[in-house]
Structure 1
Amino acid sequence: MTQRVELATVMDRLALDGLVTEYAVAVDDGDWEAYRGLFTANGRADYRSAGGIEGDAGRVADWLDRTLRLFPMRQHLIMNRRVRFDLLAHDVGDTARVRADYVNPMRFETGDGDPAEPDFVCGGRYAFAFLRTDEGWRLREVIVEEKWRRMPRHRGQEAGT
């Protein structure tokens, strides 16, 4: 590879990393306009493994808006990002995939405005698919593969009961 190609690859990796971070911040902050703006016009998201829905980014953003109101505190931690640029015969490097693990602590709303204790926590892996557009890299697809979750026990409930 030439230095120019290597520099372009580094810049693309940084852009993809930034987009994954923007995704997490949009979800955690409930910024559904920003969430929608991360996707291509036909971008899709699939949250079925976590008990959610699959569909176009706008529909999924509406569902997330309604569902995540139960959790006034959310904090995605996305790590172990593995970036792959697709180099198919018809592709000149304008598509990419990122697989990344996540841990997502969230705090339930009690109904009286105070956050509940303890937290609901889940973890798993994201599969992000990207497309380079005239506006820069955008998400074509997000698939959530939830692998585990820990639900809070009710007050007074002991372990194993």
Structure 2
Amino acid sequence: MDLATVMDRLAIDEVVTRYAVAVDEGDWPGYRALFTPDGRADYTAAGGIEGPAAEVGDWLAGTLGPYAVRQHLIVNRRLRIQDLGGYPGDRADLRADYLSPLRHESGEQLMSGGGFVFGLVRGDEGWLVRSVVARETWRHGALGRAGG
């Protein structure tokens, strides 16, 4: 593995970590800044919506607002960077598992798990999310579906 690929892997890892932190901390401008201008998010498999990242960010802000505690743990990351004959390209796909404990302001707790599929592209400012799809596979708790 060459240095450029290592640097790309680290940069992509940082984008995904910033994604989780932005959602957990309610940093919706930071969330939107992680996406390309045409970036999209799809949380339909977790009971949410699909659409342009800016609109989905607004939906997340409203939906996750009543959750006093949010924590998205994104683990088991499997990254595939476009290969241009031994050189890294400007596209990447990352599949990862997630675990998401939430506590509603009422005190009720919700825990869900599943996977994310991120489509990323390298731009002038570095790596950005072009698409993210949440695929919830399980949920424990009595509250309505909270989304990604």
Q: Which entry has the higher C-alpha Rg, 1 or 2? A: 1
SS of the aligned residue for 2:83 comes to coil
Whether 2:132 is the aligned partner of 1:142: answer yes
Residue number among 14, 37, 44 corresponding to 2:40 in the alignment = 44
Counterpart residue identity of residue 114, structure 2: G
1:120 and 2:116 matched? no
Tell me the number of residue pairs that the alignment of Structure 1 and Structure 2 aligns.
142
AA at the equivalent of 1:25: V
- 1:131 corresponds, among 121, 137, 145, to 121
**TM-score normalised over the length of structure 2:** 0.91
Partner in structure 1 of residue 25 of structure 2:
29
In structure 1, how many angstroms separate the alpha carbons of the residues matched to 2:54 and 2:28?
9
Shift of 1:152: 4.3
Which structure would you say has the larger RCO, counting Cα contacts within 8 Å and 6 or more residues apart?
2
Alignment of 1:1-161 (within 5 A): 6-87=2-83, 93-110=89-106, 116-117=107-108, 119-152=109-142
Residue ranges of structure 1 left out of the alignment (5+ in a row): 111-115, 154-161
Distance in 1, matches of 2:16 and 2:41, equals 14
- Mapped to 2, the partners of 1:95 and 1:44 lie a distance apart of 16
8 A Cα contact 2:24 2:71, kept in partner: yes
Q: 1:97 aligns to what SS in structure 2?
A: strand
Cα RMSD (Å): 1.7
The answer to whether the 8 Å contact 2:40/2:131 transfers is yes
Question: Residues of 1 paired with 2:100 and 2:75: CA distance?
Answer: 11
Structure 2: give runs of 5+ residues left out of the alignment. 144-148
Matched to 1:41, the amino acid is: P
Structure showing the higher strand proportion among its residues: 2
- Kindly report structure 1 stretches of 4+ aligned residues shifted beyond 3 Å: none
In 1, Cα distance between the equivalents of 2:84 and 2:28? Answer: 33
Local SS of the residue matching 2:38: strand
Using structure 1 for the length normalisation, give the TM-score. 0.84
Residues 92 and 83 of structure 1: CA distance in aligned 2, closer, same or farther (over 3 Å): closer
CA distance in 2, matches of 1:57, 1:135: 18
